[in-house]
Structure 1
């Protein structure tokens, strides 16, 4: 348990890294946020319906922007300018994937994401892109189904990728048929958000549970994409997926500031076989340490037969323990801010 706690503090520090007092909230936005559709009418119309192409970066990011805009009223209780919405974790992670080249074609057979003229293309051969599809399209469709967006499923069409079309769903009825539990979880999250009696802790639990449910199918369905990547990137993918289950137990609040800061601890590019943490020269010390922490956590999880996760979940089910963890997280946040300013 001591090892798990130590990993927790490292993770908290990771979330807090590089955080400073930023007066301009827009500077925290994911890449091309302002260029992404803000409302459904910003998408092009064809045959009387708005067309959303989730294989174009700004189109996919637009679904998140619509969700943030349409739920802003319900997030006001948590902070101004919607920056305290827990939904920010989704678009910021998509932004990190875009900036680090993880949405580009890993096969090298196309220019998708690899050249300026095709920089907005999202490749269906990307493991990251395929998994994120289930964390963007499904929440969006569930939000529509919940009524929170005021949109009708008949107002828009979601386009399929150029290949492997059968591995995805494209509308409320199709996704509900294929993934009923996941769609119900996201719908429940959005419906609970609208209740005046909703509280942040319960909302976070519903968010993380729905998030994990969205991952259940794609993290196994797209393992065939692994062979496009180096062994180091493949191992990072596996370690990262493992860590998500530990994150879920903590119910970390994925606000804009925290989610933006979290990116500073993640790899700034796709890993290659020559990368050996903690000695990757173009990684920051924090990024190197997080690679080691993720590897250690995965090792502990494996040798314990996931007993470590069970223990961690049991510990985090205790409100006092979870609150203590989050307080330590805030302490890291404050201390890192202080250190940063003292160096200026």
Structure 2
């Protein structure tokens, strides 16, 4: 243990919006997310009895209590508690001397909305545990915090996500999107301030709750890995954009071709989006968003009627572009639009949902916020 033990504290980690770069992170590709002003907050204190005690303001019922010594993948708490339990397991498995704690959570990130509430929960937990146990150097190493949180989610919780969500939650910067290369983990902060251009980014929560662990996400990842293996490549990232047609010609089955086409073209969209933001050409990002949604809908097949309706309605009502964000099968849609169009586009989407018999969507505009940190 390094440094003095801190007995109590409050920490926060944000959810995220991914501007573009969906299902590319586990293919060693490029992503362009930013941290939300909505976050998971954890109030923590040390325990000396070897027990992890977890309380969530959003989950009714008694606290979850887990023996630290008994933590292991596939054992112990399920549901939401598996995420903080997995973080404690990953820290200990990596050799860090952390133990019992009482952690109380509150969240303004909608769960299951494609805004990465799980990564926010993990990163907030990791900061709380490392600082409670005086591991200041580790707490300051945000890329390593992200790596340990991804390991917790992949191995302990059993959800095969990439590292994008944890990285932007840990490393985000206010007023910037984060261009992340998920192969070498290099990062570049790119200014992202729609309001300065008279624009806004609207988030539409479709209220369709997704669950990465339900198997569909894992099947897409397995399909990508199988396609890369059949092409003799480490990952689909290794297909250059100008080599896409040649790669597709070597895959006889349509499902594999569709997965490959999405990943390769999505990496290209991230490159184009980063160039547009760097050049200050934010309005031109709109058509890229819609193009990305069409690819997620038609090739990767991870959209749903509600997200498709939100996108088509927003664009028809005058938005510059829109797409689903997150792993899919529900969740949220992001809409880039002129600030003056927020109210009419919001009304149009609400009307379309009502006419289709869907639940009323939740909507809010957002900005790029700072990453995780200690509040007190």
Pair in the same fold by TM > 0.5: no
Higher helix content, 1 or 2: 1
Q: TM (normalized to structure 2)?
A: 0.32
Q: TM (normalized to structure 1)?
A: 0.34
Higher strand content, 1 or 2: 2
